[in-house]
């Protein structure tokens, strides 16, 4: 299986720009997980995963600790996870995952981004079947890890396939197996770098460079919004 088709702009940004976008989103995930399941990561798998993902993005420990402590505040509103689906320039399909304490604000913002970039929202559920949702767990590629043996160990935990690059192994499973897969990898003594749920387009589409430039503008606006957690497209 190829790498996730989440549309990432980090490679075209300065590192500080990427961090300035990511840290508020990561902090929100940590706070929401801590508020939902408790502030002890050893007893709260969702919080443990959120912290792992923050560390993978080099988020400072002080920021992580502050996000956890924030969950104890009485003025912290509960966050709602909500998705929006739309069509952007040149018919590109866009799936937007958000986490917000004010859905009225979030939907108004997301709608405005699409409208200003020759696109528009479509009814919820219209694009759901056009993306498959997968658990993706990343860990460091090491000489002492025998992937063939590990694959046999992880099959019962839902593993579908591995994808390997120079330094990282990506393990894929159905999204419903997220917890089982992460626990099995940890049980095998492997330190997880990052664990996420991602969406893959069923039928990726090729776009020209000129079309991509137009699509970029919409994706950039969406990713700049602190309520937006992830953006996926059907770009090949």
Q: From CA 36, how far away is CA 136, in angstroms rounded?
A: 22
Beta-carbon count within 10 A of 95 CB: 22
This prediction has a pTM of: 0.86
pLDDT per residue over 77-112, tens digit each? 789 999 999 999 999 999 999 999 999 999 999 999
Is residue 104 included in any domain, yes or no?
A: yes
Domain of residue 137: give its range: 80-236
Q: Could you count the other beta carbons within 10 Å of the beta carbon of residue 30?
A: 28
Structural element, H or E, at residue 19: helix 15-37
E strand segments, the chain:
80-87, 93-100, 120-122, 131-140, 159-164, 168-174, 192-201, 228-233
Burial of 203 (0-12, 13-18, 19+ CB in 10 A): exposed
Burial of 189 (0-12, 13-18, 19+ CB in 10 A): exposed
Percentage of residues in the chain having pLDDT higher than 90: 86
Residues 107 and 205 in one domain: yes
Same domain, yes or no, for 222 and 105? yes
C-beta separation of 81 from 180 below 8 A: no
Regarding whether 98 and 58 lie in a shared domain, the answer is: no
Boundary (domain end) residue, out of 21, 51, 70: 70
Q: How many whole angstroms separate alpha carbon 201 and alpha carbon 135?
A: 14
Phi and psi at 161, nearest 5°, equal -165, 165
Tens of pLDDT, residues 175-229: 999 999 999 999 999 999 999 999 999 999 999 999 999 999 999 999 999 999 9
Provide the number of structural domains found in the chain.
2
Asked if residue 1 is part of any domain, the answer here is no
CATH of the domain at 18: 1.10.10.200
């Amino acid at each position: 299986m190829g790498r996730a088709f989440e549309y990432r702009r980090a490679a075209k940004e300065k590192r500080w720009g990427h961090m300035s976008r990511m840290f508020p989103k990561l902090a929100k995930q940590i706070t929401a997980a801590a508020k939902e399941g408790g502030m002890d990561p050893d007893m709260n798998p969702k919080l443990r995963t959120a912290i792992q993902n923050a560390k993978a993005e080099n988020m400072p420990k002080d920021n992580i600790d502050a996000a956890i402590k924030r969950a104890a505040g009485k003025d912290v509103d509960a966050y709602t996870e909500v998705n929006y689906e739309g069509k952007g320039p040149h018919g590109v399909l866009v799936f937007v995952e958000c986490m917000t304490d004010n859905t009225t604000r979030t939907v108004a913002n997301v709608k405005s981004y699409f409208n200003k970039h020759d696109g528009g929202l479509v009814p919820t559920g219209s694009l759901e079947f056009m993306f498959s949702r997968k658990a993706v767990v990343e860990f460091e590629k090491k000489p002492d890890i025998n992937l063939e043996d590990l694959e046999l160990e992880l099959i019962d935990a839902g593993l579908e396939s591995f994808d390997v690059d120079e330094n990282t192994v990506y393990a894929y499973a159905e999204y419903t197996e997220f917890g089982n897969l992460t626990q099995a990898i940890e049980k095998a003594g492997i330190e997880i770098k990052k664990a996420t749920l991602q969406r893959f387009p069923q039928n990726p589409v090729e776009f020209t460079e000129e079309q991509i430039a137009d699509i970029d503008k919409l994706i950039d606006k969406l990713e700049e919004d602190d309520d937006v957690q992830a953006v996926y497209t059907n770009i090949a």
